[in-house]
Structure 1
Amino acid sequence: MTNVPSGLWRLAIAVGIPVGLGPSEYEQLRAPGWGSVYLVGLSLVAEAFAVLALGLVQGWGEIWPRWIPYLRGRRVPVLPVTVVAGFGALATTVFGVMFVHTSLNADIEASAWGMGLLNVVYAPLLLWGPLLGAVTVHYYRRRTTSRPPEIICG
């Protein structure tokens, strides 16, 4: 949920809804040809990663669901999930810090409300990395205890 506001902000730009930026910023973000496609793609990829992160707290993160051929009903391996989620937590934390540093020091052409909106929609991304890290540690600890999972996947 921490990346939904920024995704909606990018989608607004992609479809031409004004979000308080100056004309040069829109030109840069919606570069001729692929700019809007990039903004939509980035939003979709971010949301896909967010949905994958739900696997750390949902039953389908422990036992493969029935609709996945060849894997259905088998246990999801703990180590690969933990390593990938750990790298994801690190990457999103670094990205969040770098984004804040860049945005605070950038010369962005925007109205006061546009800068306020930009800060409001991107601020939750600062939480994504640390929260993903906490959930990853919990997933690893939960999955490596001696008791078997009590999960029924549909």
Structure 2
Amino acid sequence: MRDGRPAPRWAVVAAHIVPLTTLPSGLWRVPLALGFPMGLVGLQIQWWEPPYFIALSLVTEGAALLTLGLVRPWGERVPRRVPLLGGRRVPPLAAVVPASAGAVALGLIWAYAFRDFPELGNFHFAHGGWKVLMIAAYLPLLLWAPLLAAVTVAYYRRRCRG
């Protein structure tokens, strides 16, 4: 049972786009974890990096999927199947505060990560096509913070105002 108004259509679309902004970079890291250099010259992968690449991809995608909670019923009421908390109303600020902090953190992270764009720092590629592929995989991440912020504002307006 929902206790708020339905999310605006644009917010639902934006929330569904967020996981798609993180997917290309995650998919780009998987071949690296499997030993394929993705055109990077002189790449030396340490023993701990393959599990890190996979974990980073999974955690990133999981975090992006949480945006859906801002437009779905489980973002307003904890599903009944969840032990101890099932059926309880989610306090709006319990979603708004972490989502807002996440949007700010993501904005700062990607502003820093793309600071030398399009030079890509110390990455050297065997062919320009590999560089284009990496840019294409990571560029959508720049949309994550503003989309999350917009969906968070819509959630706040829906749940905390009239």
So what's the TM-score if we normalise by structure 1?
0.86
Q: How does 1:7-22 map to 2 (within 5 A)?
A: 7-22=26-41
1:3 paired to 2:18: no
1:52 paired to 2:66: yes
- Bigger relative contact order, structure 1 or 2 (CA pairs below 8 A, ≥6 apart): 2
Alignment length (residue pairs):
141
Determine the C-alpha separation between the residues in 2 that align with 1:37 and 1:102.
27
Displacement of 1:99 in angstroms is: 1.3
Which string of whole-angstrom CA distances, capped at 9 and with x for unpartnered residues, describes residues 6-28 of structure 1?
Answer: 00001111012342211x23x1x
- The 10-residue stretch of structure 1 (48-57 or 120-129) with the greater mean CA deviation from structure 2: 48-57
Q: How does 1:36-47 map to 2 (within 5 A)?
A: 36-47=50-61
Q: Letter of the aligned partner of 1:107 in structure 2?
A: N
* 1:139 counterpart (144, 152, 155): 155
Q: Letter of the aligned partner of 2:35 in structure 1?
A: G
Displacement of 1:103 in angstroms is: 4.5
Q: Specify the alignment match of 1:107 in structure 2.
A: 122
Q: Specify the alignment match of 1:79 in structure 2.
A: 93
Q: Percent identity?
A: 44
Q: Letter of the aligned partner of 1:128 in structure 2?
A: W
Which stretches of structure 1, 4 residues or more, deviate above 4 A after TM superposition? none
Displacement of 1:109 in angstroms is: 1.1
Determine the C-alpha separation between the residues in 2 that align with 1:91 and 1:47.
16
Structure 1: tracts of 5 or more residues without a match: 147-154
Q: Specify the alignment match of 2:109 in structure 1.
A: 95
The RMSD of aligned alpha carbons is 1.3
Structure 2: tracts of 5 or more residues without a match: 1-19
Q: Specify the alignment match of 1:117 in structure 2.
A: 133
- The 10-residue stretch of structure 1 (125-134 or 102-111) with the greater mean CA deviation from structure 2: 102-111
